[in-house]
Chain A
């Protein structure tokens, strides 16, 4: 990842502003985003200002240091506990559009240096009851506002930030696994054995990137705060070809899937957004839009590795599909 950054620097800058500005609701959001991000650290202003053109045609002037600093900055475990000021990150997953393309899973795995079966984003096939039609259910960490995992951690290795993100500091984690048992969504994974990738030193460890992982510690979806600091979307949202995953800021009431930008509250209201297992009281920050008026038939999702399809063998539709294939061949 380190190698990609310089090349994309200019586009970074644009996207950096995009998240704040694409709303075009308030003219000052772009500037405020910058100001917010900048206020966190002591700035030694170089005095040099750069003029930037925002997508809605406004020109803003910012300090040159600010822009270059963030995409490059390494966020230490201590810094990562603070969160990005004035943000409240939220994800909306549109179940009507998901066809188990698995681009979210794969780009996440690539970015977080995960192995084949290690998935921060899992795609499950859920059938709510016997009559109901099964649907594809992308499941990241829900970054709950009442996170049971954070409550039970004996060392504070996992923590809830002001911007709503729940992270793990694997330098602090003792591997007691209590957080794994207390997460009702099975979002957490344990590094059971040693792997060579843990020893890589090309990238210093940051809880914001979750790389490199460490043996005997817990890991999970982190909402990619390193990208958020750069004003980019998390890997999964960016990679989805169907625009299933919206990501944004609840404070600004904006979410985007990279193609369209909508008001979060309206999206939830109009599409009957809900949170999974609401009755548990964990108050997730991941919302789902029900799988109504689907854009793809369920079977489109069956076009995956045999190994992946095998996961869903308990769902009757998958059984039927497999049987059909057998009789054909």
Chain B
């Protein structure tokens, strides 16, 4: 082992350990706040279990509300995280190191939080095991369960693989850390010593997994889109839904990555790791995807509007009347504002790119809402009912509480993982520096061999 590298590792651990160790009062308050939000969500959940779905805004026409929208939203975060992370890794993108771990964590966490929302849609949680006792492979829900479980396992393995070298570095260099931490790192590092063979094997496996999770993610998200597009509902029964969802997923995914980059950079003062170039790079990716997303959205609604089958017309009437402002916000503001900001070079600052990302994420959530709710409010046979809650859906506080609890859980887990391993992969820095040496000082490299 190279003495330089050993001391460099020690240096890096020293640099990043403040992030892992003590929490500032601000972060304590923040964590406390997140826990409170989650607890309120838990109360809402208990209420929903005791009193039944009656206390949600869902009724016979709109049987799925914001739960399923959150489900799509989080799963699409995960899918796009996997996609982007896979691409970063697979093509050995030069500046990937600073953002790759953020992306990987988003991938796994959103895939844990997302499916919780689909469970909230289920009327009989006590019978959940029936999905495995009486499975019907014909049902898209069964496909979805298989796809998401496979994706989850794949992403977990992938995330863990990228953590191993850092766990090893932390194990070797954290003598001051509490003993539980040392033990934890020792277990998690599973005997990784960063020898040449180990390193090469790990790189090979990680690379293979990075290709696999791209496929897994595309399959999972396609199946999710099919849950809607395989039905006969006018707003859902669309052939472009799967690719549309894939693009939409990337759109919000890149958005959330930019937002997390911004927050992490600001909070941990990682200005020299997460630099403007990262934001510009991500911003350009977001620009390309926003153009694609706008194109898909336009194609979807334009063909419905132009051919104007009666049910499509009814749906568009609902969208353009009752949901007028939501439609404008989701499909005009949510697409055009990011495009304008990201298109012009002079607008591309870190703050404005982050702003564009926020608009993109909010717009996309609203876009999902407009796919789910108005469609269910406009069935083939007109809804003839006098109970307002059966005609129009509006989410109750139970649903909002659980939605925010989901977001809070996502953020809290994110913070906790950042306490376990540095958000910037230290092993990546080592690899990068090693690579540099190889190029600039080939002699030294040879001598060592």
B141 part of interface (Cβ distance < 8 Å): yes
B residues 118-141 in Cβ contact with A at 8 Å: 121-124, 127-128, 130-131, 133-136, 138-141
Task: Evaluate contact between A154 and B124: CB separation under 8 angstroms.
Answer: no
Task: Evaluate contact between B53 and A190: CB separation under 8 angstroms.
Answer: yes
Q: Point out the residues of chain A lying under 8 angstroms from B127, CB to CB.
A: 172-175
Task: Evaluate contact between B384 and A312: CB separation under 8 angstroms.
Answer: yes
B residues 44-66 in Cβ contact with A at 8 Å: 51-55, 58-61, 63-64
A residues 179-238 in Cβ contact with B at 8 Å: 180-182, 184-186, 188-194, 215-217
Interface centre among A148, A157, A172, A216 (most CB of B within 10 A): A216
- Tell me the nearest residue of chain A to B390, going by C-beta: A117
Please report the C-alpha to C-alpha distance between residue A308 and residue B387 in the assembled complex, in whole angstroms.
11
**Which residue of A189, A280, A308, A310 is within 8 Å of B232 (Cβ)?**
A280
- Tell me the nearest residue of chain B to A159, going by C-beta: B136
- Tell me the nearest residue of chain B to A185, going by C-beta: B381
Please report the C-alpha to C-alpha distance between residue A314 and residue B387 in the assembled complex, in whole angstroms.
15
**Which residue of A177, A182, A184, A217 is within 8 Å of B121 (Cβ)?**
A177
Interface centre among A124, A126, A176, A307 (most CB of B within 10 A): A176
B4 part of interface (Cβ distance < 8 Å): no
Please report the C-alpha to C-alpha distance between residue A175 and residue B67 in the assembled complex, in whole angstroms.
14
Interface centre among A126, A177, A314 (most CB of B within 10 A): A177
A178 part of interface (Cβ distance < 8 Å): yes
| A175 touching B124 in the complex, CB below 8 Å, given contacts A152-B231, A193-B53 | yes
Task: Evaluate contact between B123 and A155: CB separation under 8 angstroms.
Answer: no
Please report the C-alpha to C-alpha distance between residue A54 and residue B139 in the assembled complex, in whole angstroms.
47
Contact-residue size bin, chain A (C-beta under 8 Å from the other chain): 35 or more
Please report the C-alpha to C-alpha distance between residue A154 and residue B121 in the assembled complex, in whole angstroms.
14
Task: Evaluate contact between A182 and B232: CB separation under 8 angstroms.
Answer: yes
Please report the C-alpha to C-alpha distance between residue A312 and residue B386 in the assembled complex, in whole angstroms.
9
A residues 307-329 in Cβ contact with B at 8 Å: 307-308, 310-312, 314
Please report the C-alpha to C-alpha distance between residue A70 and residue B383 in the assembled complex, in whole angstroms.
39
Please report the C-alpha to C-alpha distance between residue A185 and residue B233 in the assembled complex, in whole angstroms.
10
B residues 94-108 in Cβ contact with A at 8 Å: none
Please report the C-alpha to C-alpha distance between residue A180 and residue B136 in the assembled complex, in whole angstroms.
17
A250 part of interface (Cβ distance < 8 Å): no
Please report the C-alpha to C-alpha distance between residue A193 and residue B134 in the assembled complex, in whole angstroms.
25
B380 part of interface (Cβ distance < 8 Å): yes
Task: Evaluate contact between A307 and B122: CB separation under 8 angstroms.
Answer: no
Q: Point out the residues of chain A lying under 8 angstroms from B219, CB to CB.
A: none
Task: Evaluate contact between A215 and B52: CB separation under 8 angstroms.
Answer: yes
Task: Evaluate contact between A178 and B139: CB separation under 8 angstroms.
Answer: yes
B382 part of interface (Cβ distance < 8 Å): yes
A292 part of interface (Cβ distance < 8 Å): no
B243 part of interface (Cβ distance < 8 Å): no
**Which residue of A173, A178, A184, A190 is within 8 Å of B141 (Cβ)?**
A178
- Closest beta carbon of chain A to B159's beta carbon, Å: 29
| A176 touching B123 in the complex, CB below 8 Å, given contacts A125-B384, A181-B376, A193-B52 | yes
A-B contact pairs, 24 of them (CB 8 A): A148-B231, A154-B139, A157-B134, A172-B130, A174-B128, A174-B130, A175-B124, A176-B121, A176-B141, A177-B64, A177-B123, A180-B60, A186-B61, A190-B123, A191-B52, A192-B54, A192-B58, A192-B59, A193-B53, A193-B54, A216-B53, A216-B123, A280-B380, A310-B386
Q: Which 4 A-B pairs have the closest CB atoms?
A: A175-B123, A216-B123, A193-B54, A154-B141
